[in-house]
Each structure stands twice: as C-alpha cells, then as structure tokens.
Amino acid sequence: MQTTLKTRDLTPSFGSEVIGLEPSTPLDDSTCAQLRQLFDDRGLLVFRDLDIDHHQQLWISKMLIRQEHVPEKPGTAQVDDNFYVSNRRDGAAAPFGRLQFHADTMWADKPFEVLSLYGKLIEPPAIPTLFVSGVSAWQSLPARLRERVAGLSALHTAGEVRRGDLTNVLVSTVQRPPTSTQPIAKLHPRTGATVLYVCEQMTKEIVGLTHTESEALLEALFEHMYDPAAQFQHEWRQNDFVVWDNVAIQHARPNVNSDGPARTLRKAASPIPQLDRDQLPSFSSAT
C-alpha cells in the first residue's frame, strides 16, 4: 500500500518538514519517489525524532540526488562515520565561531550536491543553523540586477575572503586553496532551476570587473539574498535530521562557543571532491 508522507512548509518558498517517516533502509520506492520530488521542489527537508545511524543518513542523502548506488571513494573523511561539526568532539570541524553564509565546497567545480546534518548530541539552547535559497533569491531578484549579472561569472575560493561584519567569524586557513569560476546565474545540474550562485564566505570576486565594481555588485546581491525575511532558522533538537540541496541552498550559523551547550552534528555529503592534504582547512577565529 502506498502511503503519502505528511509534510509542512517551513517557509513560503523553500524547506519542508516531513512528518512520520519510518527510517527503514532501503525505503520503499513510493516513499523514495515522494521524498525526491519534495527535495527537488523545496530544497531542504527536516525530519524530527528520527533514529538513524551514519549509514542510513548517507543512504537517504544520496537517494535524494539519485546516487544511492554510486560508491564514494573509500577513505574520504565524510564517507566514514568520523565527520562531525561539534564544540565537544575532538577533531571535529568548525568547533567554535560564527559562519557566514556559504555552500560547502562552493570552490569546487563539482561541489557537494547534497549535504546533511544529524543532531547527535544537542543540549538546549544549541545555536541554530540558518538557511537561504539561491533559487528563491534568483526568482525574486529585481530585474535591474538580473540584467546586470547576465553573462557574468564569479570566482569562489577556499582561501580567505574578508568581507562584511567579521565579529566571531571562524576563518579556515588552507595552504593551497582550491578555486572555481561559475556563472552567477547558475543552472542547477539536476533540477535545471536558475540559482543565484554567490556567497559572502567564499566568493572572492566577479570576473572582469574592477574590485570596486565587483564589491558593489556583490553587496547588492548579498543584501537581497540574505534579507532576514528570506531566511529559515532551524532550532536543533537531538535526533533532528536536516538534509539540503547544497547547490540551491546556503547555510550559516551564529557564534558557537567552545564551552556553550553541546552541539554535535554528524555530517554526510555527496559527491566528495578529491582533495590533497594541503587543500584541507585548519580553523582560527577572525577577531
């Protein structure tokens, strides 16, 4: 018997909560089809009180981009169950600080298509994760800005980009930063939607403009995309599973203190860009 999943919109334009999923692996075909459609339409799915292990988290994440049967290269940190964002766990990523809006690995020619976090150990009041949609931002972009960016590309880097309010910002230092140049109006590789594809944390410049022109145009785009009214704020609880389209959706977080409430999030992403050791980040505070 086919069951229709119960869902609830998180914002008018993106994000849905899925209610009552039984997390068996693999999920039945009808459930997978509904979830894939919802993921393509809404870009971000939230499941609460879901008891899943790392394997199930990665399987569901990859199923949503129709890659559940494609093996990742073995030995990459994010395929093994050892990739955590945490202010408690030794060796975890982003252990403290604030993160400006970004899409993970936006500096890669083929960034993560899907990214997910699972609330492994959460003590209230844990710092939330903030989200915006580059698809919604493009759809609502004023015509004069659409015309201005038509045909323009931006350079993204894993190296340092210092812009805007840097209070408490966590800076990741990379010896040999990867870079990628992408159209600002990027066509989504799976859905075909146009995505406003620049971010405050990783976009270094708009190609072919002077520094002043580039910064002014980026500032106008950021002001539109990061309008507080366009953001969704996810308040973490233990056993929350949040999975999003990393090309369409950007994320950020307010400042996390090392000695604040426990905030341990298990991360899964796909596909993983292959990096050399000197292209991996080390973390320090901006201020």
Minimum Å gap between C-beta 102 and Fe ion is 6
- Contact present, 58 and 32 (Cβ < 8 Å): no
Nearest alpha carbon to residue 189 among 103, 251, 113, 272: 113
Minimum Å gap between C-beta 104 and Fe ion is 4
Question: Which residue, 27 or 65, is less far from Fe ion as judged by CB?
Answer: 65
Question: Which residue, 81 or 104, is less far from Fe ion as judged by CB?
Answer: 104
State the number of binding residues for Fe ion (CB under 5 A). Answer: 1
Question: Which residue, 17 or 104, is less far from Fe ion as judged by CB?
Answer: 104
Question: Which residue, 162 or 211, is less far from Fe ion as judged by CB?
Answer: 162
Minimum Å gap between C-beta 256 and Fe ion is 12
The contact mask relative to Fe ion for 96-115 (x = CB under 5 A, - = no) is --------x-----------
Q: Give the residue closest to Fe ion by C-beta.
A: 104
Q: Which two tokens stand for residue 38?
A: 């919802």
Q: Per CB under 5 A, does 72 bind Fe ion?
A: no
Minimum Å gap between C-beta 77 and Fe ion is 14
Question: Which residue, 42 or 251, is less far from Fe ion as judged by CB?
Answer: 251
The contact mask relative to Fe ion for 180-199 (x = CB under 5 A, - = no) is --------------------
Question: Which residue, 63 or 252, is less far from Fe ion as judged by CB?
Answer: 252
CA quadruple 94, 112, 61, 257: dihedral, nearest 10:
10
Question: Which residue, 35 or 130, is less far from Fe ion as judged by CB?
Answer: 130
Minimum Å gap between C-beta 99 and Fe ion is 6
Minimum Å gap between C-beta 235 and Fe ion is 18
Nearest alpha carbon to residue 264 among 94, 49, 75, 80: 94
Minimum Å gap between C-beta 69 and Fe ion is 26
Residue ranges that bind Fe ion, judged by CB under 5 A: 104
